[in-house]
Structures are given as C-alpha cells and as structure tokens.
Structure 1
Amino acid sequence: MILAIVLGVIGAIVLIIGIIALFKSIVIIPETSFAIIQRLGKFNRIIERGIHLIIPFIDKVAVKDNSKEKVFDFPAQSVITRDNATIKVDTVVYLKIVDPKLYAYGAERPIVAIEMLTATTLRNLFGELELDESLTSREIINAKLTRILDEASDNWGIKVNRVEIQNITPPKEVQEAMIRQMQAERDKRARILEAEGIKQSLVLKALGEKESTILSAEAKKRQIVLDAEAKKEKFVLEAQGQKQAIDMINSANLNPNYLQYKAIEQIKELANGKATKIIIPPNLAEVSKVIATGSEIFESTKDK
C-alpha cells in the first residue's frame, strides 16, 4: 500500500517534470526577432522566427532581441567649443542589430557603450569648431558622428544608420545676443521693405503723372486739330456760299437800275459807318456812275 502511494507520487512528479520540460523545450521566436541559445553556458546557436526545440535544463535562451531599427534619445551632453563656449547638445541615434552573436558577446552593455562613445565623439567634434561654426554646421557634424559611431559599433554587431543632433543650446548670454541680432535683422528687413514700398509708390505716382500729362497733351492736340478742321470747314463753306451767291447774281440777269439802287443803299450805309457788305454791279463799267450817284447822295445828306 505504501509502495503504491510512493510510486504514485513519483509518477506525478515525473509527469509534472515532463510537462515542464516539454514547455521549456519549445521556443517561439516572433518575426524580425532572434535568440541566442547557450548549452551548458556556452554559445550554441542563433535561432530566428518560428518554433524551435531545445534541450530542457541544458539549453537556455541567453539573449532575446529583435533586428528592427531602434531609436535612442540620449541625454543632452555639455561640450566646449574651440572658443571656450559651453553648449548643450541633444542627439538621437538610429541603429539596428545586424550580428546577434557580436551583439551578445562583443560588449557587456552595447547600448551604453554607444551612448558613451556618442558623448566622447561630440566633445571631440565640437572642440574643433567655434560657436558660430557649430551652430551652422549641424549636417556636417551629423555625418561625421554617424561615420565614427558606425565604424566603432561594428565590433558590437550594431549598424548605426544615422545620428541626428536635435538641439544645440548655447549659453544664456549668447542666446540673448542672438535674439538681439535676429531682432535687428527683422528691423532691417522691415526698413528695407518700407523703403522699397515708398520707392515703388513714387515710381507709380511718377508714371501716373507722366501718363496723365501725355493724355492731356494728346487731348489738347486733338482739340487744336478739331478746331483747325472746324475753321477750315467754316472758311470753305463761307467761300462756297459766297461763290454760289455770286454765281446766282451773275446768272440772274438783274435789272441794272435795281443794282444801281442797291449800290446806292450800300454806299449810304457806308456813309453812316454801319455798312458790312458791298454789292458790286455785274457790269464794272457802271461803277463810276454808281459812285457819282452815291457822292451826290452823300453831299445832300451832309448839307442837311
């Protein structure tokens, strides 16, 4: 009876151990991940995505990670430029694990090693530059920093894709000077724009006055031409009217006595100083007679 109980307990223990061993012998690796398998404390193999079997209690998963690109935002570092200005530099490093074995055994803490190397490299690079250069050479610093970190991290199974400098914070007095300089630049640009606006306004005003003067002169010119055309037309019409009147008189065969009478009337008006027209008889030979008759009339009027 006791033996049966003991055997039952042993069987249960073996079953439990078997179940545990079964679970421990199955390792599932997700996509883009990997694991380092050690056997009795020694590197055995690298397993990647999928289901894998290992020997329970002999094999173990020493390192488990993924090969996706990782982003590390390291704390800001204080660096000194060549002209002894102290600034703070904040960097972001983009990297990925390319060799799991080197990553597991190349350095004790490879990410910490990357952080320390980043800080050291920043101090060296900024120590070669003056403050003004460091503020305007961000792309150059990024490229140099990426190259140095990538070369150094090869022994750790890490590929540094790029390093970006997020912020460069100069001392407070330098920031205040930069603010004053930017304000001065803005004021300068505002004055230039204002001057350009005034200049443009004056140019447009001058062009407008010029155009107005030209239009006024052209209008006066057209008016003078129209007046001259009107006078010319008037003279032509008057001449044509006088010609037509003379032609009508010449063609009418008027009574000579009537013409002498009209001539005497006109001469009389001449004597009064009110005459504006003179009728010339069609027969110029009779002019002397008309004048003689007119003279007699004038004398008689004068005697009265």
Structure 2
Amino acid sequence: MPINTIINFVPQQEAWVIERMGRFHKILEPGLNWLIPCIDEIKYVKSLKEKPVDIQPQGAVTLDNVQLQLDGVLYLQIFDPYKASYGVYDAEFAISQLAQTTMRCEVGKMLLDEVFRERERVNVAIVLAINEAAKPWGIQCLRYEIKNMTMPSKIQEAMQMQVEAERKKRAMILQSEGQREAAINTAQGQKQSRILNSEANEAEQINLARGAAKAVELDAESRAKAINLITAAISENNGEKAATLVLGERYIEAFGHLAQKSTTMIVPASASEPASVLAQALSIYGTISSKKS
C-alpha cells in the first residue's frame, strides 16, 4: 500500500481510493496529486487492467448422473473503484465462488454429451450470471473459459467405445454408399451400352434393307433395259433369226451345266440328239412368238 508523501504520483491504469479522517474522500486519477498528510489516507489501490482469475476444480453432476470435475479461468475488470472497494469485502473470492456455483447449476441442467458440445453455452451463462451479481461491486466479467473437464475412468472407457462404434458405423455407411453408387454407375453404363447397341443394330438393319431394296431396284432396272434392248433388236431385220440362234445356244448351254449343280438329273428323251434339242428350242420360241402376235 503506498504511503501519503504529500506529492503523490499515481501510475496509469490505477485508481487510489482516499479516505479523509476515516471517510471516503475521493479517487485519485493517474498523474500528479496532492494530499494532506496525517488527514488523507490511501486506503485502497485498485488496478483497472483486465485480470485473470483461476477457478479451482469443482465437482458437478450432470443430468444423467455423471460426476465431473471442472476448472476454468475468469477474466475480470474493475469499472468502478468506489464500488469495488466498499461494495464487497473480497471481490475475487466472491466472484470465484459465484462462478463455481453457476457452473454446477448449468452443468446440472445438461446431459454429459451436451456438456461437451455446449461448452460455449456454459461459458456464456456463467458470464451473464456473474455480471448480474457483480454489478453492485463495480466489477465486470469479460469472459469465462472452461480449461479442464475430467470424469471417472469407466465413463471415459464407455465414451471411447461409443466413439469407436460411431466411427465404424460411419465407415460402413460410407462403404455401402460407395457400393451403391458403383452399382448404379455400372447399371447405367450397361443400360447405355445396350441402348447404343440396339440403335446400332437398328441402323445396320435399316441400311441393309435399304441396300437390298436398292439392289432389287437396280436389278429390275437393268432387266428392264435388257428387255427393251432385246425387244428393239428383235424388231429389226433378221432379229427373229438372231433370237432363234441365241435361244438355241442358251438351251444347249443349260444342258451342259446340269451335271455340275446336282447328282440327279431329269433329261428329255431326245437330249442326245443336238438337232432335236435345237428344234425343240426353236419350237418353244415359235410358240411364244405366235402367242405374242
């Protein structure tokens, strides 16, 4: 505690509470200050800086009856030196006790899993409770952080088994989803392949049909042209004689190829005499010509 030296220098971010004859007189600001010796007394010195306060480990029981040990750190700052001096006897002790009781109360409202997930909510609740209670003391709680959280060894083993089971579950789900996606992709590929094959076969059949139709059409046209040429040739002078000669040659040539096509032949009785064969061919042509006339 500083001593009144008449001329006093107050450091920055400090507030000196002065009592005159045992009664509050004023608060000295940083810098040069004058005091009357033996009358003015420096009663309290308050730091206006933010100050961390360790919260000792405290037992708490969760909503599902699990015993936890929690500790933390609290950050305080004095905003009213007068209230901090005369509003409470030991501000840090009072606030640390309030933080412990609030922490037990908030943990008792949650399940064990929620305590791990909602640590931020617990911190905020403790800060709000401390600020509400410490407002008459001239102290503000800036933030609170839970440092350590311990539990019985059996609970830790159970939680570890739960985590491993959850990871195995996720792995199996991911594996099954991968197999499903692979099966879907394979089925879609086979579907597209069959569709393309069917379209290719359809196009091939259409092209073959078109080719066959075109071939028949060309063959018919060539036959028609040949018939027209033969008709024109026959209508000319000596055309019938030429046709007779050609017909006879074709008739004889046909008999020459009979044995090459099959082992069984039916041959007219007069086929051994070329003259009779030629006469028969000419007779056929003559019959056709007479019918045409």
Question: Which bracket does the TM-score occupy, shorter chain normalised?
Answer: 0.7 to 0.9
Say which SS state the counterpart of residue 76 (structure 1) adopts. strand
The one-letter code matched in structure 1 to 2:242 is: Y
Alignment match, 2:280: 295
Matched, 1:247 2:211: no
Shift of 1:169: 2.1
Cα distance change of structure 1 residues 164 and 37 upon mapping to structure 2, 3 Å threshold: same
Say which SS state the counterpart of residue 59 (structure 2) adopts. strand
Matched, 1:260 2:263: no
Alignment match, 1:225: 206
- Match of residue 16, structure 2, among 35, 57, 71: 35
Query: Which deviations, in whole Å up to 9, do the C-alpha atoms of 1:143-169 show, x marking residues without a partner?
Result: 443333223223322122443334432
The one-letter code matched in structure 1 to 2:135 is: D
TM-score (norm 2): 0.77
Shift of 1:70: 3.1
Matched, 1:71 2:52: yes
1:147-162 map, 5 Å: 147-162=128-143
Aligned mates of 2:219, 2:204 — CA distance in 1: 22
Alignment match, 1:62: 43
Query: Which deviations, in whole Å up to 9, do the C-alpha atoms of 1:12-69 show, x marking residues without a partner?
Result: xxxxxxxx98x64132341x43221233443210122343222245434332333343
Aligned mates of 1:226, 1:76 — CA distance in 2: 89
The answer on whether the counterparts of 1:29 and 1:35 sit within 8 Å (CA) in structure 2 is no
Aligned mates of 1:232, 1:84 — CA distance in 2: 90
The one-letter code matched in structure 2 to 1:62 is: K
Query: Which deviations, in whole Å up to 9, do the C-alpha atoms of 1:125-181 show, x marking residues without a partner?
Result: 444555455445544433443333223223322122443334432211111101100
1:1-304 map, 5 Å: 24-30=6-12, 32-81=13-62, 83-127=64-108, 129=110, 131-132=112-113, 134-252=115-233, 253=236, 255=238, 256-274=240-258, 293-295=278-280
Percent identity at matched positions?
33
Cα distance change of structure 1 residues 37 and 225 upon mapping to structure 2, 3 Å threshold: same
The answer on whether the counterparts of 2:247 and 2:282 sit within 8 Å (CA) in structure 1 is no
Aligned mates of 2:27, 2:281 — CA distance in 1: 157
Aligned mates of 1:56, 1:75 — CA distance in 2: 42
The answer on whether the counterparts of 1:76 and 1:89 sit within 8 Å (CA) in structure 2 is yes
Alignment match, 2:270: none
Cα distance change of structure 1 residues 227 and 54 upon mapping to structure 2, 3 Å threshold: same
Query: Which deviations, in whole Å up to 9, do the C-alpha atoms of 1:56-108 show, x marking residues without a partner?
Result: 45434332333343332322212234554321112232332122112112223
Unaligned runs of 5+ in 1: 1-19, 276-290, 299-304
The answer on whether the counterparts of 2:10 and 2:28 sit within 8 Å (CA) in structure 1 is no
TM-score (norm 1): 0.74
Cα distance change of structure 1 residues 84 and 262 upon mapping to structure 2, 3 Å threshold: closer
Unaligned runs of 5+ in 2: 260-275, 284-293
Alignment match, 1:288: none
